[in-house]
């Protein structure tokens, strides 16, 4: 792949342009260390310009008939579909995931646009009872207005599409700021939306770094809501900045998913799911298996099996056939993984597999599957989100002990429980405080039409299918007095 000159462009008021007098930054591929392109770091003036045009667009766009939005969303899906192979290659180049996984990510995005187009046709409104017999009441759902979408680098196509499809379907305007590490996927998506014919100003793209461009979005008084996916720390900064004009916030934040394996579980199923949840996308997944809680009686057998399973995961060039793990995306996330492993070693945990970066690759970001035993609640691997290809094993005595360990982390995104007993499954599922729990299914199980979101440090708000339409709209109550007209 060659350097992409268009990365310097942003979309504002319906035209692609190159902002002048802004700082710039080079974007380098984690796969081969080569330059992908240079992005502008858009400052407040550029963001405000985008926000003004998005507000202007709102006047008409929010009132368009849903059939018009349906057509545009379907056209966007067609354009993504027509170019999915090229987009998948670019995604792998800038993010580092295996090419097959990139293609699956693109397929999902086509589904989000088609799904949102269908959902908006079926969005129900209400006809409410009221005490006064002379009155009638209906409720409708109004768009929030202009929504800033700030996204991370781990799913650079999926996360923007997952949110933007529903945001546009429900009549909002959108300003996207992709992660600085993966600006190309964001650019390609916005080019598709522009080509599909969304009216001027309904869709904008700005590029840059979080502290400048992201901060300008969260603090702009012309922006009505934020759809943020990223770390808990950034989520807090956005909530503070967004309070200036009481923005409607949807915060999809970090996780520290416990996978709890009770001693009556089908161990082969559990082990395969653990390896998938810990190593897929090199563990850079919000609902990855971050902590593997294993009941004492099956601990030894679990370790033997998980080591065999981990060895089936192949690290290598993500463009090569058979490779299941490419490089990690960036030095910062790899350093965090190094730090968490070092902390566990210092506190007495044992590295059974991997544990440090692999040599002999074009960049220093290739990290092998890592299995660690003897992890305790004091270790960073248990308390914080690691976001690397690590399977840290913690043993527990009984279900209440497993619940105590689960609660020793502040996050509440997704958890999983493995057992053959429906009674035990319910005991755990009713007590664990997370947005989602899977029973005998991988922690990183994902279905884009189900309600998605976290509790506690994992965020607020629910997206996914019709839940996203509710998230990105507000109920308006209309009262008719039949006696006065
Ligand atoms: P991040 O550092 O929080 O960055 C996410 C986005 O926020 C990026 O676009 C970033 O910009 C921007 N940003 C950074 N500082 C900002 C600020 N002060 N104001 C406004 N925007 C700012 O997260 P990440 O490292 O990219 O992504 C990994 C995290 O995302 C993990 O914690 C993961 O669990 C979470 N995640 C959650 C979900 C979910 O659905 N719950 C899904 C995927 C990922 P720059 O990158 O350009 O600096």
Dump pLDDT digits (tens) for 384-398: 999 999 999 999 999
Instruction: Give yes or no for residue 235 CB within 6 A of ligand 1.
Output: no
Mean pLDDT over residues 361-376, rounded?
A: 98
Digit-coded pLDDT (tens) for 163-178: 999 999 999 999 999 9
Dist. CA 410–CA 239, nearest whole Å: 18
Which protein residue has the closest C-alpha to ligand 1 atom 18? 211
Residue 22 reports pLDDT greater than 90: no
Residue 20 reports pLDDT greater than 90: no
Instruction: Give yes or no for residue 384 CB within 6 A of ligand 1.
Output: no
Digit-coded pLDDT (tens) for 233-271: 999 999 999 999 999 999 999 999 999 999 999 999 999
Ligand 1 midpoint to CA 158 (Å): 14
Residue 106, CB half-sphere, CA atoms under 13 Å: how many?
27
| Residues ≥6 apart with Cβ < 8 Å to 430 | none
Digit-coded pLDDT (tens) for 122-140: 998 999 999 999 999 999 9
Ligand 1 midpoint to CA 150 (Å): 7
Residue 1 reports pLDDT greater than 90: no
Instruction: Give yes or no for residue 435 CB within 6 A of ligand 1.
Output: no
Digit-coded pLDDT (tens) for 433-452: 999 999 999 999 999 999 99
Ligand 1 midpoint to CA 229 (Å): 6
Beta strands in 67-180 (DSSP E): 126-128, 135-143, 146-150, 173-177
- According to DSSP, the residues that pair with 225 across neighbouring strands are 147, 248
Establish whether 286 is a catalytic residue.
yes
Q: Which of 90, 215, 252, 385 is catalytic?
A: 252
Digit-coded pLDDT (tens) for 340-363: 999 999 999 999 999 999 999 999
Q: What does the DSSP assignment read for 332-359?
A: HHHHHHHHHHHHHHHTT-EEEE--SPPS
Instruction: Give yes or no for residue 39 CB within 6 A of ligand 1.
Output: no
Torsion-angle region of 371 (φ positive above 0: left; ψ -120 to 50: alpha; else: beta): beta
Q: Is 431 helix (H, G, I), strand (E, B) or coil?
A: helix
- Predicted TM-score (pTM) of this structure: 0.98
Exposed e or buried b per residue across 58-75, where buried means at least 16 C-beta atoms within 10 angstroms of its C-beta: beebbeeebeebbebbbb
Ligand 1 midpoint to CA 101 (Å): 21
Element (DSSP H or E) covering residue 467: helix 465-471
Q: Which atom of ligand 1 is nearest to the CA of 155?
A: 43
pLDDT of residue 249: 98
Computed from CA positions of residues 302, 303, 305, 307, in that sequence, does the dihedral angle turn out positive or negative?
Answer: positive
pLDDT of residue 484: 87
Digit-coded pLDDT (tens) for 295-314: 999 999 999 999 999 999 99
| Residues ≥6 apart with Cβ < 8 Å to 396 | 260, 293, 294, 295, 296, 402, 405
């Amino acid at each position: 792949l060659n350097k992409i000159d268009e990365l310097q462009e942003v979309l504002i008021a319906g035209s692609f342009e190159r902002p002048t007098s802004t700082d710039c930054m080079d974007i380098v591929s984690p796969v081969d260390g080569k330059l992908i392109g240079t992005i502008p770091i858009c400052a407040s003036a550029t963001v405000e310009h985008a926000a003004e045009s998005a507000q202007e667009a709102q006047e008409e766009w929010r009132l368009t008939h849903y059939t018009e939005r349906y057509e545009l969303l379907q056209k966007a899906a067609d354009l993504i579909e027509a170019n999915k192979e090229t987009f998948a290659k670019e995604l792998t180049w800038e993010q580092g995931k295996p090419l097959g996984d990139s293609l699956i990510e693109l397929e999902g995005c086509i589904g989000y646009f088609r799904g949102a187009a269908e959902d908006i046709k079926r969005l129900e409104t209400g006809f409410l009872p009221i005490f006064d017999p002379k009155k009638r009441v209906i409720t409708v759902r109004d768009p929030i207005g202009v929504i800033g979408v700030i996204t991370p680098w781990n799913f650079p196509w999926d996360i923007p599409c997952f949110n933007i499809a529903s945001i546009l379907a429900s009549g909002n305007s959108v300003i996207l700021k992709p992660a600085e590490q993966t600006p190309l996927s964001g650019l390609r998506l916005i080019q598709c939306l522009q080509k599909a014919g969304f009216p001027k100003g309904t869709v904008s793209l700005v590029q840059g770094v979080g502290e400048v461009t992201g901060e300008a979005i969260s603090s702009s008084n012309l922006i009505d809501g934020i759809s943020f996916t990223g770390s808990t720390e950034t989520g807090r900064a956005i909530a503070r900045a967004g309070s200036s004009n009481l923005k409607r916030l949807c915060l999809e934040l970090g996780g520290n998913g416990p996978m709890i394996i009770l001693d009556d579980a089908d161990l082969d199923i559990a082990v395969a799911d653990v390896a998938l949840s810990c190593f897929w996308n090199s563990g850079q997944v919000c609902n990855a298996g971050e902590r593997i809680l294993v009941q004492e009686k099956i601990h030894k057998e679990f370790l033997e099996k998980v080591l065999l399973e981990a060895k089936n995961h192949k690290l290598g060039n993500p463009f090569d056939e058979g490779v299941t793990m490419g490089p990690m995306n960036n030095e910062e996330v790899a350093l965090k993984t190094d730090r968490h492993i070092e902390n566990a070693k210092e506190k007495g945990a044992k590295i059974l597999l991997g544990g440090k970066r692999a040599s002999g690759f074009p960049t220093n970001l290739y990290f092998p599957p890592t299995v660690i035993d003897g992890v305790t609640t004091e270790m960073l691997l248990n308390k914080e989100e690691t976001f690397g290809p690590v399977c840290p094993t913690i043993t527990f005595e009984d279900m209440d002990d497993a619940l105590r360990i689960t609660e020793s982390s502040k996050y509440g995104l997704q958890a999983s429980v493995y057992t053959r007993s429906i009674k035990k499954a319910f005991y755990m599922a009713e007590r664990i405080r997370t947005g989602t729990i899977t029973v005998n299914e991988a922690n990183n199980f994902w279905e884009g039409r189900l309600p998605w979101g976290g509790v506690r440090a994992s965020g607020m708000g629910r997206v996914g299918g019709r839940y996203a339409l509710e998230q990105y709209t507000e109920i308006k109550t209309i009262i008719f007095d039949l006696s006065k007209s």
